[in-house]
């Protein structure tokens, strides 16, 4: 079962009413990037990329994002400046709802990430340090319009049973 982390808005990061899901040891620590991609694709999360996590606070207003740690370890700050540091290691998977701030605080040699999006939806990138009030208003409206994905990218369970929007 995944850990659920909740973040209130923090500065120029809106975050989400939906929780970040942290699947510890979802894959073997030595699982290649292709194994992450195949798992995510099997559950409808496509448009995969390989890289790392930016060292600046940013969020995506138009898409939820899955981050599979495919090498090394890192400390990520989730939730913006007022958020919290989360240690991740190869095999861990994070599911970030649209609007969730994230950045890399530090990483080991060989740190790698496979990212993907539900149904390969188009994503944007908003830097917290450059967002204006108008940018944030538009982002909050966009975040509210992002549908809950059909399936959890790790377990394949229906996300409607995991992520419930407040009424």
Cβ atoms of 25 and 140 closer than 8 Å = no
Mean pLDDT of the chain: 96
* Mean pLDDT lowest among 76-80, 102-106, 140-144, 163-167: 163-167
Q: Could you tell me which of 99, 103, 76, 104 has the C-alpha nearest to residue 8?
A: 99
The H-or-E segment that residue 38 falls in is: helix 33-42
Q: Alpha-carbon distance 115 to 96, whole Å?
A: 11
Strand partners, 5: 20
Summarize the confidence of residues 55-65 as an average pLDDT.
Answer: 98
pLDDT at 167: 59
Confidence (pTM):
0.96
Tokens of 114: 């496979």
Q: Alpha-carbon distance 78 to 84, whole Å?
A: 6
Q: Alpha-carbon distance 144 to 64, whole Å?
A: 11
Statement: residue 92 has pLDDT above 90? yes
- Domains of the chain in start order, with CATH, are 3-156 (2.60.120.10)
Q: Alpha-carbon distance 151 to 161, whole Å?
A: 10
**80 pLDDT band (50/70/90 cuts)?**
very high
pLDDT at 166: 67
């Amino acid at each position: 079962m995944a850990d659920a982390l909740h973040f209130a808005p923090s500065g120029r990061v809106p975050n989400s009413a939906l929780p970040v899901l942290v699947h510890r040891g979802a894959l073997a620590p030595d699982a290649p990037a292709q194994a992450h991609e195949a798992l995510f694709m099997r559950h409808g999360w496509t448009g995969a990329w390989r890289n790392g996590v930016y060292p600046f606070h940013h969020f995506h207003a138009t898409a939820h994002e899955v981050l599979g740690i495919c090498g090394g370890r890192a400390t990520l700050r989730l939730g913006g400046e007022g958020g919290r540091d989360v240690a991740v290691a190869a095999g861990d998977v994070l599911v970030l709802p649209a609007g969730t701030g994230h950045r890399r605080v530090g990483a080991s040699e060989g740190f790698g990430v496979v990212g993907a999006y539900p149904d390969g939806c188009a994503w944007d990138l908003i830097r917290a340090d450059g967002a204006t009030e108008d940018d944030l208003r538009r982002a909050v409206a966009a975040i509210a319009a992002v549908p809950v994905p059909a399936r959890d990218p790790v377990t394949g369970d229906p996300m409607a049973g995991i992520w419930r929007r407040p009424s």
